[in-house]
Amino acid sequence: MSKEMSNTCSCVMYEIMTGAPSRSPPTVTHVIPGETGVCAVTSLDDHVYVVRNNKNEVEVYDEVTLTLQRRLPVSGISDSASGIAACSRSKCLYLSDWNNPSIHRVDLATEAVKKWPVAKKPEGLSVNRDYNLLVACMTDNKLQEYTTDGRLVREICLAADMGSPWQALQLSTDDYVVSHCQSPGAVSIVGIDGGLKRSYGPSSLSDVGPLKYPRSLAVTKHGDILVAHGDILVADQGNNRILAINSSLTRAQLFPSPVVINLRDPFALYLDETRDRLCVGELTGKFRVIVLNNLPYVAWQ
């Protein structure tokens, strides 16, 4: 079967399964193998940055060819680095160290590292519109916002029934979309005061069943929820899949990943809108970073 026919068949099957029109499934353009699991992926300017499990360094890849350029050591960080985020204004990387609760800021021009303490078990990171760092702290059930020099701007305490926040991203409404790494898991939208506005979790109305240890999220750079129709992408790790959830958090669909990749333990997501690219990192299996292009649109009925 030709590649074109295979894509057409996959697209038809997707429409049959979901009842929603779609472009062809995304194309796998690159696969980056590794020796340990992928914890987080980001990019800035001409490079893609990858953090792997049990490593105290960052892999640096050329953004176009995705060939390994070098390994960037991060002074003082343990082998429990988990999240990564890049700031286009400060030209730096942030890494979270969950075993030794701290953030490590790496200046990309000088490679100088600045470290500051945070709440317990920091995991996923993101940079908001104010170029501040947003940290999800699982054990303390908090979201913390810091300036690039480590000054605490805001601390949001989540309710006990919204536990285990793994990543938080700030939307254009100033609310936060949060993944809760539990089984069954949830994705919620909370206000700046930490109050719950809405959530998606297991229910009789769920389209795809309960989430199982949801990890990374993806949203657009404009702060709208992803992809053209107001959706959130979620790495649903325990179910070996990526989900698209609508903006009202009432419905979910399988993101139409190519069958040939046989996705295993998706842990990291990174959306590069300028290249119409989604990077997916696996924690186990072949420890791959899978690069998808020509991303489909998800329409809701």
- pLDDT for the residue 133: 98
Domains of the chain, residue spans: 29-293
- pLDDT for the residue 134: 98
Q: Which of 227, 222, 228, 209 is nearest to 269 (CA)?
A: 227
- pLDDT for the residue 206: 59
Instruction: Please check whether residue 24 is in contact with residue 68, taking contact to mean a CB–CB distance below 8 angstroms.
Output: no
> Whole-model pTM?
0.88
Indicate the pairing of strand 38-44 with strand 47-52: antiparallel
Cα–Cα distance between 25 and 36 in angstroms, integer?
28
Given 2.40.340.10, 2.40.110.10, 3.65.10.10, 2.120.10.30, which CATH number is that of 29-293? Answer: 2.120.10.30
- pLDDT for the residue 256: 81
Q: Residue ranges of the chain with pLDDT lower than 50?
A: 1-22, 223-230
Cα–Cα distance between 56 and 211 in angstroms, integer?
30
**pLDDT tens digits, 123-182:** 999 999 999 999 999 999 999 999 999 999 999 999 988 999 999 999 888 999 999 999
- pLDDT for the residue 242: 92
- pLDDT for the residue 10: 39
Cα–Cα distance between 56 and 95 in angstroms, integer?
10
Cα–Cα distance between 189 and 206 in angstroms, integer?
17
Q: Rounded to 5 degrees, what angle do the CA atoms 40, 44, 46 make?
A: 120
- pLDDT for the residue 205: 56
Cα–Cα distance between 253 and 224 in angstroms, integer?
18
